Amino acid sequence: MPKDNKNVTIKSNQSSAKNDKNSIYILDFTKIFHALKEDKYFIILLLNVFFISLIYYQIFILLPHQLEYYFSNNLKVHNIFYSVVSFLFNIGKNNSKLSNFIFGYLFLENTVIIIISQIFFNKLQQKINNKLSFIIGLSSIGVAYILYSLSTTNINMYLVGMLFLSIGEIFSLPRIPIITNLLSRDENKGMYFGIVKSVRSIGVSLGPFLCGIIMSLTNTSFTWILFFIFILFAIFFNIKFGVFKVAIVE
């Protein structure tokens, strides 16, 4: 084959491969658009995923900041477990380790509650439908945020708040993949789960940005209350529009 013809053939193959790749992308976006257009319950699910991601993951921004503010130079900490651990590990009440210790202490509680809940809440979760479970979870997170807005140096208040936050996590977060699975078919499960993950990432990324702006203009207590209002809106949104009606398994 002449050299010029060979070059033309190679360029033609490369152009064809590029066109095929572009066609795949167009096909994928067409499928996504069709899924959003035809399945209104999937759109409602995505809005809830966005709300949860925006609201729930603020705990990792707001809580450390609040603990640092109230506990770094404050001596009024009364808790038996804290007293024992501070004695064993030499964590003084004027020490910068204090807020880090309390934060780790709270998420140790969170881990223990979630593990224990697998024994006690598993049967209860099987008896209630997805919609009710989701609303219970959001309500529990809302109670936790109200408690955190009222907490200053009372570590017991933080512990009770973490209890409600853990219950909210147990009832709401695991339901998202369950509902996604129920709404999707075998041929489009990968696409549905991919869209849900993308929306979650947007909420997780946007949340700290909004949180930082609100905190710079106000304070942590007001920020907790504002996100509590977001939770109320999400609960009302679910009740008003009958979210997950199709996905409910009675």
Q: Which residue type does 214 have?
A: I
pLDDT of residue 140: 93
Q: Which two tokens stand for residue 45?
A: 């699910």
Query: Between the CA of residue 161 and those of 41, 71, 158, what are the distances in Å?
Result: 32, 17, 5
pLDDT winner (highest mean) among 88-97, 116-125, 226-235: 226-235
| Contact predicate 218/140, CB 8 Å | no
Assign residue 184 a region (left: φ > 0; alpha: ψ between -120 and 50; beta: otherwise).
beta
Where do the structural domains in the chain lie, given as residue ranges?
A: 40-241
- The sign one gets for the Cα dihedral 153, 65, 164, 228 is positive
What does the pLDDT look like over 139-163, one tens digit per residue? 999 999 999 998 877 778 888 999 9
> What's the CATH fold of domain 40-241?
Growth Hormone; Chain: A; (1.20.1250)
Query: Between the CA of residue 233 and those of 56, 200, 244, what are the distances in Å?
Result: 14, 18, 17
Proportion of the chain above pLDDT 90, given as a percent: 9
pLDDT of residue 31: 67
What does the pLDDT look like over 21-42, one tens digit per residue? 443 334 466 766 666 666 778 8
Q: Is 199 helix (H, G, I), strand (E, B) or coil?
A: helix
Give the pLDDT band of residue 79 (cuts 50, 70, 90): low
What's the number of CA atoms in the CB half-sphere (13 Å) around residue 5?
A: 2
pLDDT of residue 89: 52
- Which long-range contacts does 215-218 make (Cβ < 8 Å, 24+ apart)? 215/62, 215/65
pLDDT of residue 11: 44
| Contact predicate 144/168, CB 8 Å | yes
| Contact predicate 45/244, CB 8 Å | yes
The residue ranking higher by pLDDT, 156 or 87, is 156
| Contact predicate 176/124, CB 8 Å | no
What does the pLDDT look like over 111-142, one tens digit per residue? 998 888 877 777 777 777 777 888 888 999 99
pLDDT of residue 219: 86
The residue ranking higher by pLDDT, 215 or 238, is 215
Proportion of the chain above pLDDT 70, given as a percent: 70
| Contact predicate 117/170, CB 8 Å | yes
| Helix residue ranges, H only, 57-129 | 59-71, 80-89, 97-120, 122-127
The residue ranking higher by pLDDT, 100 or 244, is 100
Angle at alpha carbon of residue 220, lines to 142 and 86, rounded to 5°: 95
pLDDT of residue 16: 44
**Average pLDDT of span 222-245:** 80
pLDDT of residue 23: 38
